[in-house]
Amino acid sequence: MKSIAILGSTGSIGTQTLEAVDFLNDIKVSALTAGGNIELLERQARKYKPSVVAVADLSKAADLKLRLADTDIEVVSGQEGICYAATLDEVDMVVAAIVGIAGLSPVYDAICAGKDIALANKETLVTAGDIIMPLAREKGVGMLPVDSEHHAIFQCITEKKNIKNLIITASGGSFFGKTPQELENVTVEDALNHPNWSMGRKITIDSATLMNKALEVIEAHHLFNVDYDRIKVVVHRESIVHSMVEYTDNSVLAQMATPDMRLPIQAALTYPEMAEGIAKPLDLSKICTLSFYEPDRKTFPALDLGLYAGKTGGSMPVVFNAANEAAVQMFLDGKIRFMEIVQLVEKAMEKHTVIPNPTIKEISEIDKKIRGDLNC
């Protein structure tokens, strides 16, 4: 029986991972971690009986210990506690579902400990892909993509040769077809109204700006070792084709499925086997139309900004990611307008002097500086 640790178990990916665990019924949950939602974490802990639970918020650790005092579950806290949970001896695979740069250190430690990674955290490879992927190869661990787009590409790559282009699909988010003028005064509620996917708040805002596609391009570059010029993005409103691979003979393989994050989660949990599907079957006769469009790069400049960050390399993607995380939170808190998100990211990148090969420590320091500069 495979044993897993779920980092970010109370978030969107974490809760859907537990749904997949319930469906599969042959996976042991050995560790659960959360940011601060100890009410849900307690319920999860009592149901799945892990060896360890970790809460990032130090101020809530004592309360969680009291809540679980009648159990044998070890309660740890802070970043050290999360890294401890990710490296337990009994754990075979770590589901990396912590949002943002906070997910980097536990993934790094888990790889060092020889754990396979089911990666749902884009920022790990965006900020430190040049460190993480060589380390994974050195340690012989699997890096299994949980993002629906990268999972689709993973399924479409029959051999790691003769690949002409990777084609990442984008839903277009909440504001497809809007002009810059129409986006000037959109609300947080408007931006969170995604047409197809049920996701966390941060990634839903990233979808609305197309920032998530920029992050996914950088992630795909590292995951599949493909040059940026051979990673394309197309808008596909139906979210049925999750991504495609074009080969040198101009044939294209596409992965199609209903838009359900439990599908790539389950695929990662059961790899290299394929189990009966938790997601609904795809009925093509009811879909009728699959549409594809070029992204509107003028209205949504985040895509080209991310491409510039990736091609520049070094510490620039760290700045790109940190400024975006900070700006998205400012938007969610009502401190800035929607269109200012990308503007703040661009300004942060313009001010930055690139460090060619930043260490994990330097990545963390740059991240903190960028957030401090934006007063987050």
Per domain, the residue ranges of the chain are 2-146, 149-182+189-299, 313-376
Residues 39-62 pLDDT 10s: 999 999 999 999 999 999 999 999
pLDDT at 100: 83
Cα distance between residue 349 and residue 323, in whole Å: 8
CATH of domain 313-376: 1.10.1740.10
The pLDDT score that the predictor gives to residue 198 is: 62
pLDDT at 376 over 60: no
39-48, 95-104, 130-139: least confidently modelled range: 95-104
Q: Helix, strand or coil for residue 334?
A: coil
Q: Are 358 and 315 in contact (CB under 8 A)?
A: yes
Taking Cα atoms as reference points, which of 113, 59, 107, 117 lies closest to residue 88? 113
C-alpha–C-alpha distance, residues 189 and 200, integer Å: 13
What pLDDT, on the 0 to 100 scale, is given for residue 193?
A: 84
Mean pLDDT, to the nearest integer, of 105-117? 97
Maximum mean pLDDT: which of 167-181, 277-291, 337-351: 337-351
The whole-number pLDDT of residue 287 equals 84
Q: What is the mean pLDDT of residues 212-240?
A: 96
Which pLDDT score, from 0 to 100, does residue 231 have? 98
Per the prediction, the chain carries an average pLDDT of 94
Q: What is the pLDDT of residues 140-157, one digit of tens each?
A: 999 999 999 999 999 999
Mean pLDDT, range 64-73, rounded to an integer: 97
**CATH superfamily membership of 2-146:** NAD(P)-binding Rossmann-like Domain (3.40.50.720)
Q: Which phi and psi angles does 216 have, rounded to 5°?
A: -70, -35
Q: According to the model, what pLDDT value does residue 196 have? A: 67
- Specify whether the CB–CB gap between 136 and 143 falls below 8 A: yes
Mean pLDDT computed over 115-136: 96
Taking residues 288-316, what's their average pLDDT? 95
pLDDT at 197: 62
**pLDDT mean over 241-263:** 96
- Specify the pTM: 0.93
